[in-house]
Amino acid sequence: MSRLTTVHEQLAEIVAPGTPRTILPLAPESSNAGYWQLLVLVSLVRHMMLAAVLSLTLFMGVGLSSYVNQTSIFL
């Protein structure tokens, strides 16, 4: 039991600012997430990638919109 306590203290020092609540989303998933799991194992990173792709798509869509023209850029 003493050895277990020592190891726990060492691990707690390694992840000192982290708590289980902040570390858990960064843990790899063991469940089936389909195609996305092949790309990225961590769900938090997968969600951030999805948000980035969505933002890029919306940005490009707004840029290609007819409302964006030479007149509206220089107003």
Q: What are the backbone angles phi and psi of residue 48, rounded to the nearest 5°?
A: -65, -40
Range of the domain at 8: 2-73
Half-sphere exposure of 63 (CA within 13 A, CB side): 6
Give per-residue pLDDT as tens, 13-44: 888 887 777 777 766 666 655 665 666 667 77
Give the Cα separation of 49 and 60 in Å (integer).
17
Q: What are the backbone angles phi and psi of residue 16, rounded to the nearest 5°?
A: -45, -50
Which pTM value belongs to this model?
Answer: 0.53
Domain tally, the chain:
1
Binning pLDDT at 50, 70 and 90, where does residue 57 land?
very high
Read off the tokens for 12.
Answer: 């707690």
Read off the tokens for 31.
Answer: 């469940």
pLDDT > 90: percent of the chain: 24
